[in-house]
Structures are given as C-alpha cells and as structure tokens.
Structure 1
Amino acid sequence: MKRSNVTQFIWACALWTLGTAGCGSPGDAGESIDGVTWGTSQAALTVYEQAALDTANNAAGCKPLGNFYWEIGDGSGPLYGLTKGSGVTATTVMPIASASKWLYVGAYVQSKGYANLTADEKKRLNFTSGYIDENTTLCDVAGTTVSACYGPSFKDVTYRPLQNGRFFYNGGHMQKLALDDIGARKGTGLLSVMDWLNPLLGTTFPESDSDVAVAGGFSGSAAQYRVFLQKLLNGQTALSSKLTVDSVPAWSGGPNVAFTPWTAAGEVYYGLGHWIEGEPVSSTWTVTGHSSPGAFGFYPWVNAARTRYMVLARSRQLGSEEGEKSRACAQTVRKAYETGIAQP
C-alpha cells in the first residue's frame, strides 16, 4: 500500500472527530492527547483516508450502526482513526461484552505460559469443555466474586458431558476456569479482576462490578484495547505466537459444532478465546485475521500476518447480531482504506 511523503505525519490527526478538525505539518504546535501531538491547521485527507471516511458514513453495512469509532494501526501506533456521528471517540469507555474473552485468555496464557496449559485448560479456552452457563444473569452486584458469579445466583455454570469435545460458544467454559484460578477476585476494590489482568497485559482497563464475568463483563475503550492488540502484533504476549493453535471448527453445521453465534457465510474457527477468520483462496480456506466481536458491537481484530490491528468501538445493547454487523462494517472500511476506493 503506497503512501506519499506528506502522509508520514497524517496519522497524528487521524483520531480526531470526522470533519471537525484536521491536522497540520509535523512542526505545528498543538495539543498532546493519547501520546499524539495534534496540529491546529487544516489539511486534506489522503485518498485512502477519504475513502475510509466516505465508506464509514455511506456504506450500506455501516449506515445503520449509529455512532461509532473506527481505527486502524500497526505495532507502532494508530495509522488512521475516525468517528462516525458523535459521542464515540478513541477514549470512550463502554461495555465490550465478548471482546472480554480475548483479554481474559491473553492474561490467562500470560500467567500460566502456553507450554504449561493442560488439555482441560485448552478445552475451556476453545469452548469444547462441556461447561455451559444455565442462565445469562449479569454478575454486576457490588462485592460479587468470580466464584459467586459461577454459582446458582448468577451464571450457574454446569457440566454437560454430552457437550465435552464439541464446540459450544458460551462463557461457562471460561467462567469455570476463572473459578479455579481467580475465584476470590471481585469487580472493584482490593484484589479485583483488573488488578490481576492489567499487569499481565500491560493495559489500563477500568474496574467495574461486572468484571467478575470474565467472558463478557469487561468495559474499555478503543485506546485501551489497542494496547493489547499492539502487544499481539509485537510478540509481547505469550498468546502472540499462539493465535492459530488448538483451533476447532466453529461455523454452523461444522463438525462437532453444537452451538455457534457466527452468522457470516463460510468457514470460521475458534482458537484460544478468539475467532479465526478466513476466506477461500484458490479454493483453499486461508486465515485472514483474528477477532473477538462483542454482542453490543465492539470489534477488535488483527490480521493473519500480525502487521495490522483494527478496532470498531460502539455499544448498542438493544438489537441482534451487533458483533457481526460491526465486523462487516469494519472490514468494509478497512478495504476502502487499503485500496483508496470508497466501498458501497
């Protein structure tokens, strides 16, 4: 993907709200936000950035999504970011639902070391262990522990022997693992779940009462999640080199698939706490990226080569298949950015 010399500094304006501010030359004085010095003069977008902006605003798969923030970057930082609508920026904290799974697994593998994981642990991380939530009650009562979240007052996770060895997308697998590992941790205060996770990942995710639901209760922003994605790209976590290991079929009708929420066409696989996306290339299914879309629309992604990351941040708690909608939109915007051609 070619870029002209004048765009070497363009990424510095990219995280600004669409149409409200531009960026100047590298020498412009400006405000320092999120490690970036913002210019004060107006500058034209590159054709790639303009294509991404137009696609975010006008593409059929993006227009119905409401307000969102989209960002693409590499191991060094953001390359370009945009806000569609208003009210959502790189630093807007929101519930990220199942995007929590990737973070929990990243921290778990970091704490244990991949080589030390047992077969049972791996099955809980790729959702083939047979441990399933009996209900969807959110563990968000102040003072609740991970152990209480596992129990009958909330998730009520049970073992179903007939599902052992089959892919069943459900937080119960991870909840059972957390019960055994960090059961006494709480959502806020001393010895919280985030007190355990943040040091392992080098992140700054905030505490909330619902964090004890490790498979879906975290909150965060695109900027906070970006740190984890960059560490995956840069080989700074134990999970970085393990994004394709222990993967199992996860598409509807796939072998040994008991339940999957994935609705996009074609094959998809599930690894350790994240989806493995792909597409046919010369009739052969080929990995294109890794992701962990949340039910409210938060969508983090890294490409198969671990050279790019992407986040689409939004929270729509009323609706269905919001994660898939965000995935489709984010990938359309990415295509526009990479080709310089706005997508329909």
Structure 2
Amino acid sequence: MEKFKITKKAKIAMAAACAVIAAFGGISFAQRTTLADYKNITLKKEKTTAKKSEIDSYIQQTQQQYQKEVKRAAKKGDVVIFSRSGTCKNKIINELHMASAQAILGKDQFKKGYDKQLIGMKPGQNKTFNYTYGKKDTSDHCAGKTVKVSITVKNVYEVPKLTDSFVKKNLMYDNVAAYKKYVKNMIETQKKKEAKSYYEETAWNKVMNGTTIRKYPKSIMKECNDQLDKFYRSSAKNQGMKWSAFIKNYFKTEAKYKSQLKKQAKKQAKERIVIQKIAKKEGISYTDKEYKKREKKLAENFGYQSVKNLEKNNDKSTIKAYIMKQDILKVIMKNVKYK
C-alpha cells in the first residue's frame, strides 16, 4: 500500500483545513477546552554551526562537478567507479553484488581497505582479494566472515585540486579562504532555517498536545470531515484515478479510509479550536488592507501565480486561518525558553 504524499501547494489545505476562527462561526468552546500554557514552552537548542566535515563534504561535491575522465591508473584523490561481487567458501554472496559503486581514493569512504586495492588499477582491470569483515560489521551481511571480493574498475576520474586559481576561475571567489567562508555561511543559514521550522513545529505540537478538549461539537467534526474528504477526492481526480483505485492504493479499504478520515478530522477540529481561543486571547485580527497584503504574500510563498489561483484551490476561511496561525506562532516563539 503506497503512502499518500501531499504536494507543496496542498500543504495549506492540509495544515489549516477547518481551522476557522470564531469570527466565521461564532462558536464558544470555553466550557469544553483547557488551553495549554502556550507562553511557557521549553525547547532544546539546536546546533547551527557548520562542522568542518560538512564544509569539506560540500566542497568535495563541488570539485567533483569539474572532474575529468582519465585512462591512467587510479591514484589518491581520484574518483573511481567500479563493480563488485563476492563469494564465501565458493558460495555467491548476493549482498556483495554491486553493478556500480564509487570511491574517492584516499578517504576510505566506501569501505575501509578498498582504497588500497583500487589505487594503481586502470579502467577495465579486474582484481580479486580476500576481505575480512569485523564481527560487528553488518553493512554487507558478512559480519565476522572472510570473503573473496572481485572488483572491476569501470572509470577513473581526476578531481581538480582546491586552489586559489581553481576557485577564482570556476567559482568566482578570490581565493580558497573566501570560498570556504561562503560555504560555511551558506550551511549555517540553511541550518538556522531548518532549526526555525523545527522549533515552530515542535512548539505547536506541544501546544496541541497540552490542550484538552472534553467534547468536540458535531458540526465542527462534520465540517472538517467533509473538507478533508473533498481534498482526497480532488487529489484522486488530479491524479487521474478512479475513487476505488485511489482508496485501494492509499488506504486499502473504504473502512480504513473512513477511520483515517475521522482521526484527521478530529486533529483538524482541535487545531481549529486552539487557533480560535489563542487568537481571541491575543486580539489577533486584520483590516481588509492588511489581510489582502498577507494573502498576496502567501500566494507568492506557495507558488501561486495570483491570489485568485490561491483562492481557487483553498477556501477563504482556511486561507485566513493559515495566516492567523503564523501570527499565533510568532506569539508562541517570542516566549519560548531554550535549554
């Protein structure tokens, strides 16, 4: 059974489906809900400093983009493409078979000891050698065994050295130091972005998990259920699948689909109630001008060509709730404590 995957543009509908604030429904949940202390969230601080190994790995991949195939014997620093097979006591070990493997010689990145065997080999050359696996080495299902390995070199590539002239000519930086600084900043910027997303998701989950709802109104559950059902049926249509085939592929049976739908509807209904209560407590609302500006920005962020296209794929109440959730997250994150 294939797992259902959600496209980027569908994330708005799935993340904020049914999250309609009180202004749209006028329903009070005060007697049914105990809201989590959303201004007292503690999170573990993530490390966002770039490691030397991460910087080196990125630079190495960049260097390999400029590699050139050579017909000479492989030497330290080259990239070698080879095939591999192996036997143990004359029995073929299927796990050792690889039609194409890659090793950067001198780093033992493929498997310790292979570089020594590959250095000096030319394209088309074959070599057989004994290799003993450690008792705890389960990578090839050969722990503790001595196997006869056969390798055949297919290609040898020479990787240019990282020099000031290489960096200046190909990467448009004055020298190696300047390029390494750029790579370090780029990795750390990405790590900070990922950490921010992780903090927001974790904090929101803490708020959701810490909120207790004693009774879910039937009207809200039905609305959420209907919206999610509409989403799935639209997905089936967009994929050119009959509904029965869609159900079989992603949920196996109609009964399992309905069960899953009920769980998702309950989760979305809870999010609706949490957003409504926090928005009311924090006095979060928008003028028409403010809302139109935010809606335009949201359309751009999710790759829609216009607000009209955004509204064509998502109902207005869901869009407004999604925008409101982002402002609620700002309130939550402003008060987060890190340890």
> Into which bin does the TM-score normalised by the smaller protein fall?
under 0.3
Select the structure of larger CA radius of gyration: 2
Greater fraction helix: 2
Where relative contact order (Cα < 8 A, 6+ residues apart) is larger, the structure is 2
TM-score by length of 1: 0.23
